[in-house]
Structure 1
Amino acid sequence: MKVAIISVSDKGKELALTIKKHLDDDSTVIRADLFHKNVKKYLKIAFYEYDAIVAIMASGILIRSIAPYINSKTTDPAVINIDDNGNFVISTLSGHLGGANKLTNKIATLIDATPVITTSSDINNRLGIDVLASDLYLSIDKPKEILFFNKAILDGQKITLTMKNEKKYLLNYLEKNTLEMDVSLVNCDNVSEDEIKVGLDGHEIILKEKKMVVGIGCRRGKEYEKINEGFSKSINELNIDASRVNQLASAEIKKDEKGILKLSEKLNIPVNFVDLDRLKLFESQDVQKSEFVKSKFGIYGVCEPSALITAGFDSKLIYKKTSYDGVTIAVAISN
């Protein structure tokens, strides 16, 4: 998640700096940028270029400034409103699909504030279908049907989830989630391998897996146990099961690394070793550049660009390069 933190007052600027320091240490926050004053200008930029906006200002200023740009719950960024004193953190827009509710709770914990969340499913302890999709990195083909299914869930109706083969990541998620959702799970060959069909009373939506790729870099000869440890810690931070990962990725210079190959075999997840030429040509402002890697191999990094290239065009990082005792891990998903 790329986060824009926008403040107006001097006190708000101090709070913005505090929040940024916390978010910079979070591997799931790819970048946190600060903007001060010129609210209309910066909010317009942030609305289209960032995944989330943290607005430290009066709610009236925020709402009037973003109103012209609000379009759809599937495309609008998460918007969070915080008062100058940092007393309340308010989820304002894209609470579920955009991740505003999660970010609200996270920031409120970091600055010891009160989170304010108003979405019906959350306050009634129910699991919305859009929350499930967001948490598991699934796209929704008919966003307009979200309201129907969430209302049905609030009313205690049972919805049917149909898939081709049993999905361990879905079962684990439903078992561990503290919110309620009454579901019936059905296996059927007429559903694509990467899809989950949601149905009730003639209404239907398709949840489709976004391609999730874990990029791996490591020192020469790094043992499997250490690579697996880094892999496990990263997906645990994302609260996902290993079975949700579609592919592993690294650079071709790592194609004989026994630790990576063993991880691929143990998890039954294919690994893609990206050509050095593609890595040399790859450009992204979100990729961290290592001069050490550049001096040795002619490329600026391994785990982040390998993950992004393998996930496909217009993919994005959801977990920035993080080091685990000689192992680097990054995670990307397709658009």
Structure 2
Amino acid sequence: MRKSFLHAYWKHKYLTFLFIPAVIYYIVFHYVPIYGIIIAFKSYKFSLGIWGSPWVGLKHFEELFTVGSFWQVFRNTFLLSFYKLVFGFPAPILFALLLNEIRMVLFKRVVQTISYFPHFLSWVVLAGLALQFLSPGTGPINLILQELGMKPIFFLGSSDWFRPVLVITDIWKELGWGTIVYLAAISGVNPEEHEAATVDGANRFHRIYYITLPAMAPVITIMLIFAIGRLVNDDFDQVFNLLNPAVMNVGDVLSTYTYRMGLVNMEYSFATAVGLFKNIIAFTMIITANAIAKRINEYGLW
């Protein structure tokens, strides 16, 4: 058995060699740094190093559960991720369905290209565009509101508007890129199924509901599991570039909190404890979501 296993690798040795750089990358940048989580159980000092710093056990986790600011940040993170899940997750699915119904190939390609483009821009650029576009003095949205006799709104400085802005800009950036996966799933549908359904009298909505969506179900399930696992995660680049003191009560999330505690306040052990706590919850949620998905429709990650 072992011999045949190694023979298969040797038979496809050139493909294996192409795979080696990816393996090295994950080992060096994802697995080797894992040893750093022991900082969460130590009082880390630069001068002493990781192994020389004294052990404190679960002290930092006890602080984490007793500090009121942490729970506010945790709540902000969960709410923001939940809103992105509710409004952002269905967006690329609906967009893929709409694109699939377009019969003008040139127009379809233009729309796809335009929708993909924001994904390749950094949040530094997109945040600058958002700041200009939503400016209370010169932003086009507020100029339109003033023309309609309404007062201008400081979208990025309002606690009521900051989260919706984060959700909308996230959808704007990732809509086209997320659509690629679902279009690939749709492309696997046999055209003869649609032709047979049309002959049987099915309209466009019936074909989408009974043919296209079931074909997309495995991909939708897997992407949903990943999305649920990200409920306690957030996009640091997005929030950091749009966050300001006026909306800290609703916009401060776990990543910005960890950044501030670890790199600004230099409380490295506490920041590591926050990150470890977040990852444990994310891992638990992925396992749970996968188990539920397997029971419902037999699709899952494993």
Q: TM-score range by the shorter chain?
A: under 0.3
Normalised by the size of structure 2, how large is the TM-score? Answer: 0.23
Normalised by the size of structure 1, how large is the TM-score? Answer: 0.22
By percentage of residues, which structure has more helix?
A: 2
Larger Rg: 2
